[in-house]
C-alpha cells in the first residue's frame, strides 16, 4: 500500500502543478477562459461526473465482495466499474469531436490548451485504470483461487488508484466547466 500512496502523491503533484498553471493563466487573462468555457458541454460533463461517482461505489463493492468471499459479486461490481469507465471515455470522445468539428483545438486559445491538457491527462489515467481493473476482472482473477487475500489486497490498491482518478475529475469538473 505504501507504494500506491507514494505514486498517488506524485500524481497529486502533477495535477497540482497543472491546476496551478490553470489558475495563473485564468487570473492573468480571464476573457479567453470565459469564451472557451462557453463552448463546453456542461450537461455531458455532469453525466460524466455521475458516472465516475457511481464507478467509485462499484469499485468499493467489488472489494467488499471479495472480503465476503463472493467472487461472483466481485465480477459483477468490477464489470460495472469497467462499464462506467468506458461510458466516461465515450462521452469524452463525443465532447472532443464536437469541439474539433467546430474548429476548437488546443492551439485555439489558452483555455482550450489547458482544457485539453487536463482532461486528456485525466483520460489517460482512466485508460490506465481500465487496464489494471480489466486485468483483475479477466486473467488476474485466477489469483483468487490460490491467494485470495493477496488478490483482495490488490483490488484494494487498484481501488485507491481509481478513487484518485475520480477525485481528480471532481476537481476538474467545477474548475473547467462551472467556475
pLDDT tens-place string over residues 44-78: 999 999 999 999 999 999 999 999 999 999 999 99
Q: Are 84 and 58 in contact (CB under 8 A)?
A: yes
Distance separating alpha carbons of residues 4 and 91, to the nearest angstrom: 28
For the question of whether the overall pTM of this predicted structure is more than 0.85, the answer is yes
Distance separating alpha carbons of residues 115 and 67, to the nearest angstrom: 39
Q: Are 63 and 159 in contact (CB under 8 A)?
A: yes
174: cell is 467545477
Q: Can you give the pLDDT at residue 116?
A: 96
Q: Can you give the pLDDT at residue 1?
A: 81
3-state secondary structure of 39: coil
Residues in the chain with pLDDT < 50? none
DSSP state of 142: G
Distance separating alpha carbons of residues 32 and 178, to the nearest angstrom: 15
Distance separating alpha carbons of residues 163 and 176, to the nearest angstrom: 20
Q: Can you give the pLDDT at residue 33?
A: 86
Q: Can you give the pLDDT at residue 157?
A: 96
Q: Can you give the pLDDT at residue 19?
A: 92
14: cell is 502533477
Q: Can you give the pLDDT at residue 159?
A: 96
Q: Are 121 and 164 in contact (CB under 8 A)?
A: no
Closest among 86, 91, 85 to 44, alpha carbons compared: 91
Amino acid at each position: 500500500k505504501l507504494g500506491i500512496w507514494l505514486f498517488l502523491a506524485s500524481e497529486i503533484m502533477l495535477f497540482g502543478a497543472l491546476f496551478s498553471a490553470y489558475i495563473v493563466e485564468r487570473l492573468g487573462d480571464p476573457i479567453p477562459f470565459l469564451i472557451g468555457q462557453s463552448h463546453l458541454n456542461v450537461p455531458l460533463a455532469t453525466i460524466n461526473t455521475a458516472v465516475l461517482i457511481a464507478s467509485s461505489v462499484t469499485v468499493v463493492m467489488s472489494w467488499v465482495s471479495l472480503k465476503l468471499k463472493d467472487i461472483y459479486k466481485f465480477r459483477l461490481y468490477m464489470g460495472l466499474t469497467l462499464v462506467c469507465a468506458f461510458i466516461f471515455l465515450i462521452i469524452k470522445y463525443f465532447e472532443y469531436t464536437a469541439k474539433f468539428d467546430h474548429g476548437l483545438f488546443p492551439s485555439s486559445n489558452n483555455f482550450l490548451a489547458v482544457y485539453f491538457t487536463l482532461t486528456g491527462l485525466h483520460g489517460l489515467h482512466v485508460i490506465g485504470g481500465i487496464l489494471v481493473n480489466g486485468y483483475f476482472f479477466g486473467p488476474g482473477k485466477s489469483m483468487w483461487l490460490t491467494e485470495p487475500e493477496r488478490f483482495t489486497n490488490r483490488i484494494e490498491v487498484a481501488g485507491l488508484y481509481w478513487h484518485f482518478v475520480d477525485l481528480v475529475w471532481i476537481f476538474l469538473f467545477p474548475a473547467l466547466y462551472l467556475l
